[in-house]
């Protein structure tokens, strides 16, 4: 009986649907069919946030502009109210290195994406730049 009540609560008792965020995936390159749709920068005291409309996947290329390694966080969300997280990723980026990550969603394009890049708590200083790519519709 407790299990049935728990299932009823989970499916009908929550104001918003339950969404499980997955880790963003890493990639070696950006698909040729994807175009640059935006970009920005992030520092220790300022997260970079950019919204774009694109296809079913969005790729983010993050570059460490520093002579030292910098920790970073990436969040890819649907640009909606309330915000719907698609994936998150935290890592350390070596000096002058780049990383490519992506998130995807099976839905009808164009899809509104919101990308947020921040310098992680482990770093006292740093500047990150990022570019966003997707199949534009």
- pLDDT tens-digit readout, 56-68: 999 999 999 999 9
Q: Using alpha carbons, select from 94, 98, 101, 54 the residue that is nearest to residue 74.
A: 101
pLDDT-based confidence at residue 42 (cuts at 50, 70, 90): very high
The CA–CA distances, whole Å, from 95 to 26, 30, 123, 127 equal 18, 21, 13, 11
Mean pLDDT, the chain, rounded, equals 86
**Domain boundaries of the chain, sorted by first residue:** 21-134
pLDDT recorded at residue 137: 60
CATH topology assigned to domain 21-134? Jelly Rolls (2.60.120)
> Which residues pair with residue 112 across a beta bridge?
53
Instruction: Answer whether 0.85 is exceeded by the pTM.
Output: no
Q: Which residues contact 101 (CB under 8 A, 6 or more apart)?
A: 24, 25, 26, 27, 59, 60, 62, 74, 76, 89
SS3 102: strand
């Amino acid at each position: 009986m407790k299990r049935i009540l728990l299932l009823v609560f989970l499916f009908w008792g929550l104001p918003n649907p339950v969404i499980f965020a997955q880790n963003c995936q890493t990639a070696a390159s950006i698909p040729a069919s994807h175009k640059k749709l935006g970009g920005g920068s992030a520092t220790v005291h300022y997260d970079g946030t950019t919204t774009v409309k694109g296809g079913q996947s969005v790729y983010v290329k993050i570059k460490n502009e520093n002579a030292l390694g910098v920790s970073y966080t990436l969040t890819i969300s649907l640009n909606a109210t309330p915000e719907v997280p698609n994936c998150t990723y935290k890592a350390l980026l070596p000096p002058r290195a780049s990383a490519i990550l992506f998130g995807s969603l099976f839905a009808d394009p164009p899809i509104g994406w919101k990308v947020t890049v921040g310098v992680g708590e482990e770093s006292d200083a740093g500047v990150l730049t990022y570019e966003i790519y997707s199949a534009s519709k």
